[in-house]
Amino acid sequence: MDFSDQPACIDLVDTISLRSTRFLVDYPNFMGDAAKVRMLELGLCRDHYRVHDPSLIGDDGSVPEELCKLKGVQSSLARIILAIPFGVLADKWGRKLICSIGILGVILHDTWYFVSLYFYKAFPTNAVYGAPAFILLGGGSVVVPAMIMAMLTHASTDEFRTVAFFYFSVTIMVSELIGPAIGSILTAAIGPHLAFLATIPSYFLSLVVMYFIKDEEPQATDACGLEQGEGNGLLDADYASSSTARSSRDYQSSSRGASPNRKHSMMEAVRFLRDDVWGLLLRASVLTGLLSLMVHRVYRPLLEVTIQYVSVRFGWKLRTANILLSTQAGVQIPVLLFIMPLLYRFLLRRKGSTFSANLAQASYCLVLLILGTLGMALAPVVPLFITSFIVYTLGNAYSAILRSLLASLVPQENFGLFWRHSALVYSALLTACARFATAADCPTENPFVILSQSDADKLSECGYFKGSINVAAEATGEIVLKGVNSIGGDWTVGSLKRDPATANLESISAPDLRTIEGVFEVEGHQNLKRLDFPELTRVLGRFEVRRVPELTELKVPALASVQTGFYIVDAPKLSTFVLPKTDDSSTSRPVPLCDIPNVDSLSVSLSDVFEFTVAGNGKLELTIEQLGSSQGGASVNITGVGAVENACSVWLAREVIFENNAAEIFPFSVSGLRKLTIQNNPNLRLAVPGKPLEWELTSIIVKDNPKLKLAQEVDDPIVETCDGRFKPASFYPETWVFDWEFLQHLELSADIDPKFLVHLTDDAFNSDDGTQVYTDIDIQSSNAEFNCSSLDYLRSEKRFLGGDYSCQNKTVDLADLDESAAGSTAPHLAHVALALVSLAVASMFGGLL
């Protein structure tokens, strides 16, 4: 932006110092956002599991983040109350001094926050509530930015002020760009506590920079000779109807001298409140501007909510969601540096006044804010959410433009007063809105106990119920929970003390429920027949149904994510059941489906499971459409299955156990497999792996399957399905792939094809001399053509195979050759003899020539 045609109307040293101060104050704030949320989340989570499941707490006090999606705590009352008295002191003692005191209060606030959460053995988690008390020193985040803004307004003229505010906003954006990224890296590297502690030195550095700022009273006319209010449209009319300027000058002059008596001091205080505070803030144009600025004042709280919203909505970790802050800053910086100043200059020339140019530009930005906010709220997928988030950030110049517009409506000697009390108005309105938002007509009992339908009807107007709900063990009949979209705590059905249910509860349904932020647990209801939650999409705890002997119907068709486990255990009459399809961003830790003998068909689609167990009735048809995605693989245990239907899917699993099944064919395409066990399957004749393999097998056990044949290529129609996934490739003929680098235990007992282990032995023959692996081997084949000669040679002559060794019930010692081992050298000697004969023939042929 080129203002070469304007005089130099801004103090360069003050401007640089002010921008540096604001950067050093905001940078640690943005940097510590995610770490602060994670620290508090960890403290609350630790308290929760200390009561419910201490085994989940590590020796160092840590709990996995996915188990800790708990709510944070906010407090702003002290900041609001202190804005006025510290504003008055700033007029008397100087803004720089009060700003420095405020920064010191922030340092003490963050230090206490860290100490109370880091030393969790010495302090309870609730000790963190003492942190806002340190805001008594200086007023904190309301007073400090107001002082900096007032000093910046003094340092710039009307024509340059909008651009100065743009550049000042860039300073904040740079801190947002750098802070969250560094915060996320540090949180991942050294943990949230030390990452948060690393923000404090920046505050001390801001105190050093503050020293270079001149805190002088403004002159009646600015250095460029522009009369106050010239060319600003509404100013003359506003000033003509206000006594603010006069009363303010009277107050300032009197405040600098000693009051002759206490009565005079009280009169001056009353005049200050009547003329300066009310006279300035209740002027129509100023009040309208302040209310308009409220649209953007929710920006910071919206970002904090966005971090938590994305973390829960799309299953991101907090440190990943925190990168969104850097994204919006990266988009907005070039907009504020180039696009917005150029647009302002164009509008200034076209409109002819700074007021009109600011008003038009603010309108454009407001439209972008509205469109972006609606897009984020309605976005069903991550790409659309990020696009809306970028649109929203393009409108964030609204704040800088409107501040410049408001500054043009206020006399220069009232800048400090205006910024202090506008901050007070913002904070008070935000607090009022927060109170209003939580004042829904909803019961306050926690937990809320339901004994009958009339109790459930009391929640019908809640929408969001922030506590826990318990359907008591004494409840009877049918319970329908209407009007509740989200439950902020747990939903338990039965006694909170796990006593046996004593009544005839038959059915529970919740037609509007979408989210349970805690656990859902049903246990021990002897007569419960039906559970129906058609809209339930997300459970942040576990979903658990146990010991329900009469349950015949369980419907959760929309369930997309269960954070800590999905349990269906001991439901012998359950026959109508659909396991939810989880989306790619969800996690569902253990998923045991046991003692459900009436379920004859089950289709599974799960993402990022930790443990998947199916115990069928012997005739269960199992179809696995998806199992795991990208987070390390599951442990899969399949028993009691009559058939495994081929869904052409690739499982992500570290361990697969297939035992005690009636199935004849076991098709499995697994990535990341480390352990494989196939045993005690009386009818199993084929186990067919499919591509892509990507195995790192350390252990393979295949035994006690009397009909099983192991071969690299099988003659069965299944090999023609799934685009040839189960067929050997021409360039890589093996479907079973083992690697000596990983293999520690190999136990095979079946009808083993003679060529089944050829690739494994060839790899060993091609290894360097002296190489040795330590693999326990036990191989028994019912195929008469299978022989152990190659393996015996690798064991005895090449000394490649260490560990325990048995092939066809024979052992070979590493030190001595037995007869079978000596016989196994025949292929090797034949190669030597052939080489000698070839050499002799070549010599004879050479002699003839």
Q: Are residues 642 and 625 in contact, defined by beta-carbon separation less than 8 angstroms?
A: no
Q: Are residues 601 and 610 in contact, defined by beta-carbon separation less than 8 angstroms?
A: no
Query: Residue 532 is part of a domain; what is its CATH number?
Result: 3.80.20
- The average pLDDT across 435-442 equals 50
Query: Amino acid identity of 12?
Result: L
- The average pLDDT across 3-19 equals 51
The candidate with the shortest Cα–Cα distance to 308, out of 61, 631, 559, 73, is 73
**Does some domain include residue 416?**
yes
Confidence label for 808 from pLDDT (cuts 50, 70 and 90):
very high
Verify that 332 and 458 share a domain, yes or no. Answer: no
CA atoms in the 13 A half-sphere facing the CB of 246: 5
**Does some domain include residue 264?**
no
- Of 596, 624, 651, the residue that ends a domain is 596
**Long-range contacts: 97-101, Cβ < 8 Å, 24+?**
97/215, 98/138, 98/139, 98/143, 98/147, 99/21, 99/138, 99/143, 99/144, 99/147, 99/148, 99/210, 100/138, 100/207, 100/210, 101/137, 101/138
- The average pLDDT across 294-315 equals 63
The candidate with the shortest Cα–Cα distance to 290, out of 213, 162, 403, 134, is 403
Confidence label for 385 from pLDDT (cuts 50, 70 and 90):
confident
Verify that 410 and 460 share a domain, yes or no. Answer: no
162's tokens: 């909008």
In the block, tokens 């559970």 appear at: 531
What is the DSSP secondary structure assignment for residue 649, as one 8-state letter? -
Confidence label for 614 from pLDDT (cuts 50, 70 and 90):
confident
Lowest mean pLDDT among 37-51, 100-114, 503-517, 786-800: 37-51
Distance CA 435, CA 442 (A): 14
Distance CA 521, CA 477 (A): 19
Is residue 252 predicted with pLDDT exceeding 50? no
- Classify residue 437 by burial, with Cβ atoms within 10 Å: 0-12, 13-18, 19+: exposed
CA distance to 444, 623, 636, 682, 703, per residue, from 658 (Å): 50, 14, 8, 12, 11
**Does some domain include residue 322?**
yes
Q: Are residues 14 and 213 in contact, defined by beta-carbon separation less than 8 angstroms?
A: yes
CA distance to 22, 87, 175, 307, 787, per residue, from 171 (Å): 7, 24, 6, 22, 76
Is residue 76 predicted with pLDDT exceeding 80? no
The candidate with the shortest Cα–Cα distance to 716, out of 666, 780, 651, is 666
Measured in degrees and rounded to the nearest 5, phi and psi for residue 745 equal -145, 120
**For residue 378, what are the domain limits?**
12-62+76-214+234-245+275-429
pLDDT for the residue 18: 58
Verify that 407 and 535 share a domain, yes or no. Answer: no
pLDDT for the residue 549: 86
Helix (H, G, I), strand (E, B) or coil at 134: helix
Helix (H, G, I), strand (E, B) or coil at 418: helix
- What does the pLDDT look like over 661-709, one tens digit per residue? 999 999 888 888 889 999 999 999 999 888 756 788 899 999 999 999 9
Is residue 278 predicted with pLDDT exceeding 60? no
Verify that 205 and 336 share a domain, yes or no. Answer: yes
Angle at 648 between CA 642 and CA 651, to 5 degrees: 80
- What does the pLDDT look like over 739-784, one tens digit per residue? 888 899 999 999 999 988 888 888 887 777 677 888 999 999 999 9
pLDDT for the residue 293: 63
Verify that 472 and 353 share a domain, yes or no. Answer: no
The candidate with the shortest Cα–Cα distance to 652, out of 679, 619, 629, is 629
Lowest mean pLDDT among 21-35, 56-70, 173-187, 228-242: 228-242
Is residue 805 predicted with pLDDT exceeding 90? yes
Confidence label for 241 from pLDDT (cuts 50, 70 and 90):
very low
Query: Residue 19 is part of a domain; what is its CATH number?
Result: 1.20.1250.20
Helices (H), 132-199: 140-154, 158-190, 192-197
**Does some domain include residue 134?**
yes
pLDDT for the residue 310: 73
**Does some domain include residue 669?**
no
**Does some domain include residue 203?**
yes
Verify that 458 and 573 share a domain, yes or no. Answer: yes
Confidence label for 657 from pLDDT (cuts 50, 70 and 90):
very high
**Does some domain include residue 496?**
yes
Verify that 472 and 414 share a domain, yes or no. Answer: no
Query: Amino acid identity of 786?
Result: F
Helices and strands counted in the chain (H then E): 26, 32
Verify that 397 and 279 share a domain, yes or no. Answer: yes
Q: At what angle are helices 789-796 and 826-848 packed, to 10 degrees? A: 90
Distance CA 407, CA 848 (A): 110
8's tokens: 């130099």
Q: Are residues 713 and 746 in contact, defined by beta-carbon separation less than 8 angstroms?
A: no
pLDDT for the residue 613: 83
Q: List the beta strands (DSSP E) in 510-607.
A: 515-516, 520-523, 530-532, 538-539, 543-546, 553-555, 561-562, 566-569, 576-577, 588-594, 601-606
pLDDT for the residue 750: 95
Distance CA 528, CA 547 (A): 10
Is residue 243 predicted with pLDDT exceeding 70? no
Other Cβ atoms less than 10 A from the Cβ of 782: the count is 12
pLDDT for the residue 286: 60
Q: Are residues 519 and 589 in contact, defined by beta-carbon separation less than 8 angstroms?
A: no
Q: Most confidently modeled of 130-134, 516-520, 616-620? A: 516-520
Is residue 623 predicted with pLDDT exceeding 70? yes
**Does some domain include residue 743?**
no
pLDDT for the residue 249: 39
Mean pLDDT of the chain: 72
- The average pLDDT across 507-516 equals 90
Verify that 466 and 377 share a domain, yes or no. Answer: no
pLDDT for the residue 260: 46
pLDDT for the residue 481: 92
Verify that 417 and 450 share a domain, yes or no. Answer: no
Verify that 480 and 512 share a domain, yes or no. Answer: yes
Residues 6+ apart with CB under 8 A from 412: 154, 218, 220, 222, 228
Distance CA 62, CA 42 (A): 7
Lowest mean pLDDT among 73-77, 587-591, 768-772: 73-77
- What does the pLDDT look like over 390-408, one tens digit per residue? 888 788 788 788 778 777 7
Count of domains for the chain: 2
- The average pLDDT across 119-129 equals 78
What is the DSSP secondary structure assignment for residue 563, as one 8-state letter? S
Verify that 302 and 377 share a domain, yes or no. Answer: yes
Kindly state the percentage of the chain with pLDDT values over 70: 59
- Of 578, 596, 614, the residue that ends a domain is 596
Kindly state the percentage of the chain with pLDDT values over 90: 9
Residues β-bridged to residue 774: 802
Q: Are residues 542 and 565 in contact, defined by beta-carbon separation less than 8 angstroms?
A: yes
